[in-house]
């Protein structure tokens, strides 16, 4: 992921995903790779699994919020981003909330 090659990351993760499909850390890595390779439905699924296992994972909520934003599901995205920010306030999360709030103000879903 650091090399910004999400498809390569997914290829490397394949055996781990098969061996440990329910492990949250594996799902988080897969979710990030899916997000960065624009496989948004898969990202949503993987990140939702992480949150089911650990509802306090602020980073998974942040990436899920960004995924939902890219899917045009702004109201859902805003909820996830607000939760992430409430758990772990940081500028990147606040910026994302501002972006989604602006889209909703313009009549987004």
Query: pLDDT tens for residues 59-107?
Result: 999 999 999 999 999 999 999 999 999 999 999 999 999 999 999 999 8
Q: Residue 108: which region, alpha, beta or left (left: phi > 0; alpha: psi -120 to 50)?
A: beta
Q: What is the pTM of this model?
A: 0.89
Average pLDDT of the chain is 93
Task: Judge whether 27 lies within some domain.
Answer: yes
Sign of the dihedral through C-alpha 72, 76, 78, 81: negative
Number of domains present in the structure of the chain = 1
| Structural domain boundaries, residue 15 | 6-107
Q: Is residue 69 part of a domain?
A: yes
């Amino acid at each position: 992921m650091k090399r910004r090659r999400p498809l390569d990351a997914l290829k490397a993760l394949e055996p781990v995903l098969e061996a440990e499909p329910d492990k949250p850390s594996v799902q988080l890595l897969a979710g990030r790779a899916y997000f960065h390779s624009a496989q948004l439905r898969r990202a949503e699924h993987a990140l939702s699994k992480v949150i089911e296992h650990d509802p306090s994972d602020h980073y998974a909520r942040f990436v899920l919020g960004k995924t939902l934003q890219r899917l045009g599901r702004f109201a859902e995205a805003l909820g996830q981003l607000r939760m992430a920010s409430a758990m772990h306030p940081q500028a990147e999360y606040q910026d994302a909330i501002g972006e989604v709030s602006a889209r909703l103000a313009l009549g987004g879903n």
